[in-house]
Amino acid sequence: MAEQWTIKKLLDWMTSHFTEKKIDSPRLTAELLLSFVLNMQRIELYMNFDKEVEKQKLDNLRELVKRCLNHEPVQYLIGRTEFYSLSLKVSKDCLIPRPETELLVERAIEFLRTRTGRQHVCDLCTGSGCIAVAMAKNFRDASIIATDICDKALSIAAKNVAKYNLADKIHLLHGDLFKPIIDQLDGKEFDLIVCNPPYISLPEYENLDQKVKNHEPRLALEAGPEGLDIYRRIAAEVGSHLKKDGLLLLEIGWLQGKAVKQLLDDTKIFGEIKIEKDLSDNDRIVSALKIV
């Protein structure tokens, strides 16, 4: 008689295999892959431990396990990730939203809640749209323009906007940083501009973990010799897009605080420029309030 693969047996097998091959979070990864293949919630796996899995599903699972062992991120394999308590669609065309970026969202929402009336917000390099969607879900009176240079990433953002019924609050525009806003001759200045740009330096990029380097889009990660290319361009253009008393919030790499602060200082349009650390005690967020 052929071997019977139950849910429990499959989870145990994958977990030990992933552990042996040093895949991150082996048990969680096993549960995510199997619940995806079986179209179940993770909790349902536990309620169906002894259920046998049919051959077609086993074949699908085997294929995903193979890709996982090749260090393809599990979020791409199952096509989604969790961000700011939302379930977002992702694909290899966009960066996988990182937990550190939730801090940027947190600060954005805090700032918006200090203000009254409709808030005009701009999210540059929106990628999967994670920041825009999380802000829109958590602040009622926001009108958000989110731009990205990559139209394939924007189509993922569009799916996330649709999934959470936010089409009336988030307007997606295709183009480089502020360029699509200028092209639209939209003279509007924003109350808040947020951006998690590509910020990995070239030498760092070469040494990135294979999981990131071989699978996530280079365009979303690498930004020149010091990783500062996009910050320079934002600093040069931000003045004409931000209201007086408006806030600029940027995610940065852990070694970039001083350099980014200097770039913003040089514009002479910001008051206090603050650098904030993430939960791992690395510099991660720069905030700058426009005073002129």
Q: Could you tell me the sign of the dihedral formed by the alpha carbons of 223, 238, 150, 183, in that order? A: negative
Task: Name which position in 37, 68, 181, 220 contacts ligand GLN (CB under 6 A).
Answer: 220
User: Smallest gap, in angstroms, from Cβ of residue 157 to ligand GLN?
Assistant: 9
Only segment of 165-173, 179-187, 190-198, 240-248 that touches ligand GLN (CB under 6 A):
190-198
Task: Name which position in 29, 126, 147, 256 contacts ligand GLN (CB under 6 A).
Answer: 126
From 9, 156, 8, 12, select the one nearest 95 (Cα to Cα): 156
Task: Name which position in 88, 107, 121, 127 contacts ligand GLN (CB under 6 A).
Answer: 127
SS (H, E, C) 147-198: EECCHHHHHHHHHHHHHCCCCCCEEEEECCCCHHHHHCCCCCCEEEEEECCC
φ, ψ dihedrals at 287, nearest 5°: -125, 140
Task: Name which position in 7, 11, 77, 125 contacts ligand GLN (CB under 6 A).
Answer: 125
- Residue 156 as a binder of ligand GLN (CB under 6 A): the answer is no
Sorted by sequence, the CB contacts under 8 Å of residue 116 that are 6+ apart come out as none
Instruction: Please answer whether residues 248 and 226 qualify as being in contact, where contact means their C-beta atoms are separated by less than 8 angstroms.
Output: no
CA 46, CA 19: separation in Å to the nearest integer?
Answer: 20
Task: Name which position in 130, 134, 200, 273 contacts ligand GLN (CB under 6 A).
Answer: 130
User: Smallest gap, in angstroms, from Cβ of residue 129 to ligand GLN?
Assistant: 8
- Residue 15 as a binder of ligand GLN (CB under 6 A): the answer is no
Task: Name which position in 197, 227, 246, 253 contacts ligand GLN (CB under 6 A).
Answer: 197
Q: Could you tell me the sign of the dihedral formed by the alpha carbons of 32, 38, 44, 49, in that order? A: negative
- Residue 131 as a binder of ligand GLN (CB under 6 A): the answer is yes
- Residue 95 as a binder of ligand GLN (CB under 6 A): the answer is yes
The residues that touch ligand GLN, with contacts defined as CB under 6 A, are 95, 97, 101, 125-128, 130-131, 196-198, 220
